[in-house]
């Protein structure tokens, strides 16, 4: 008889109640405040300004997960490669396709500590 692997189902018993509470909290988060869509020219200008001045930005993408927009990503632009934009925020690094960007706004350095939208 071959063992029937249940994949992640068998690991559900190992989650602590704190993990389950955190996951439930994430699911119940308030809806994202969707900003006005910007043109690709404005988005490019904002990203270039961030890159040249080492100023952090908040990027809102047009990607939806389960019908809700993703939280905005805050960070400093550290480079470009074709349509890809590279950001860093603390120890986190992000790669975002420019076609997925809905809105970009400049932030003060302290705002990146407060996190996303």
The CATH code of the domain that includes 88 is 2.30.30.100
Range of the domain at 13: 7-117
Split into its structural domains, the chain has a count of: 1
pTM over cut 0.75: no
Whether 48 is covered by a domain: the verdict is yes
Q: Could you tell me if residue 30 is inside a domain?
A: yes
Q: Quick one: average pLDDT of 75-98?
A: 90
Whether pLDDT at 3 is above 90? no
Query: Per the domain annotation, does 1 fall within a domain?
Result: no
Rounded Cα–Cα distance for residues 6 and 58 (Å): 40
* Residue 45 pLDDT exceeds 60: yes
Give 57's strand partners. 75, 106
Give rounded-to-5 percent helix, strand, coil for the chain. Answer: 35, 30, 35
Residue 95 covered by a domain: yes
**Do the Cβ atoms of 117 and 72 come closer than 8 Å?**
yes
């Amino acid at each position: 008889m071959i063992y029937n692997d249940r994949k992640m189902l068998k690991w559900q018993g190992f989650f602590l109640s704190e993990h389950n509470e955190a996951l439930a909290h994430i699911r119940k988060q308030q809806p994202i405040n969707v900003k006005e869509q910007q043109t690709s020219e404005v988005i490019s200008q904002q990203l270039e300004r961030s890159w040249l001045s080492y100023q952090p930005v908040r990027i809102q993408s047009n990607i939806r997960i389960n019908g809700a927009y993703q939280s905005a990503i805050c960070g400093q632009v550290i480079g470009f490669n074709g349509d890809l934009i590279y950001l860093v925020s603390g120890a986190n690094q992000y790669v975002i396709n420019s076609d997925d960007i809905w809105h970009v706004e400049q932030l003060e350095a302290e705002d990146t500590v407060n996190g996303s939208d």
